[in-house]
């Protein structure tokens, strides 16, 4: 009885620990942009001032809480995280190959499955962005933004680290149109949890361990209950 109870507690505690650690393990620095223009790089020019002409010309970005604050032709909407926080607001470049956003030297474990995800919304309906994501120079997927503005959509892809112990993540806009081609980014994440519609989702092995722990704990409690009744 004591052995089974101990195993149940250990399994449950281990599963919850793994889940908690994984859930907190976003390896991207400042992925929600709440720390402003820090923790990442860009080949675009950063603009500090915020007014409705700040978003001109092409190939620039700002960090703000409403696209319309920085460009009179951008729609008004909130960030993905809370609806009132910061996001990266981008006027697409006309120069091919410019990296919109990148972060280099992220430490990863070798032979591990990671999931990259981010949220994208068009700021202007004209000529939506075509975003290409890569890790260590290898493409992991392309996202075609929609013309409807202010609708946050998620891009995510699986990446297997192989022998790599660092990850260099880059985002390039393949659309080089000068008109339109404006978008926002938020909640960029690299994690060992598979992203779901409402946040990260544990991998099946973690779910199995948690279920096993709950099951063993429940069984131990059911066996213990009659003994407590007889003791009275």
* Domain 26-192 architecture: Sandwich (2.60)
pLDDT of 215 reads 54
Average pLDDT rounded to a whole number, residues 51-66: 94
Six token digits for residue 211: 């279920």
Grouping H, G, I as helix, E, B as strand and the rest as coil, residue 44 is: coil
Per-domain residue ranges for the chain?
Answer: 1-25+202-232, 26-192
Q: Are strands 113-122 and 87-91 parallel, antiparallel or unpaired?
A: unpaired
pLDDT of 4 reads 53
Six token digits for residue 173: 């806009």
pLDDT above 70 for 51: yes
**Mean pLDDT score across all residues of the chain:** 84
Q: Which residues of 146-178 are buried (b: 16+ CB within 10 A; e: fewer)?
A: eeebeebeebbbebebeebeebebbbbbebbee
Task: Confirm if 173 and 131 have CB atoms less than 8 A apart.
Answer: yes
Tell me how many degrees the CA angle 13-17-20 measures, rounded to the nearest 5. 135
Rg (CA), the chain: 23
Binned at pLDDT 50, 70 and 90, residue 163 comes out as very high
A 10 A CB-CB count for 49 gives 8
Residue pLDDT, tens place only, 109-125? 999 999 999 999 999 99
pLDDT of 225 reads 47
Q: Which residue pairs from 137-143 have beta carbons closer than 8 angstroms and sit at least 24 positions apart in sequence?
A: 137/168, 140/116, 142/174
């Amino acid at each position: 009885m004591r052995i089974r109870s101990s195993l149940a507690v250990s399994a449950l505690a281990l599963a919850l620990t793994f889940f908690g650690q994984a859930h907190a393990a976003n390896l991207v620095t400042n992925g929600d942009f709440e720390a402003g223009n820090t923790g990442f790089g860009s080949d675009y020019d950063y603009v500090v001032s915020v007014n409705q002409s700040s978003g001109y010309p092409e190939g620039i970005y700002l960090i703000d809480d409403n696209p319309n604050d920085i460009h009179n032709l951008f729609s008004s909407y909130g960030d993905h995280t809370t609806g009132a926080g910061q996001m990266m607001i981008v006027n697409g470049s006309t120069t091919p190959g410019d990296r919109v956003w990148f972060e280099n030297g992220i430490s990863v474990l070798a032979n591990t499955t990671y999931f990259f995800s981010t949220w994208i919304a068009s700021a202007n309906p004209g000529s939506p962005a075509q975003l290409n994501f890569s890790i260590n120079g290898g493409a992991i997927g392309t996202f075609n933004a929609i013309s409807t503005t202010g609708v946050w959509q998620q891009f995510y892809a699986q990446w297997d680290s192989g022998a790599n112990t660092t990850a260099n993540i880059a985002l390039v806009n393949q659309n080089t149109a000068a008109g339109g081609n404006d978008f926002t980014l938020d909640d960029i994440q690299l994690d060992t949890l598979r992203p779901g519609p409402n946040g990260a989702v544990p991998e099946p092995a973690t779910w199995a361990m948690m279920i096993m722990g709950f099951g063993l704990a429940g069984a131990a409690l059911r066996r213990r209950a009659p003994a407590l009744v007889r003791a009275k």
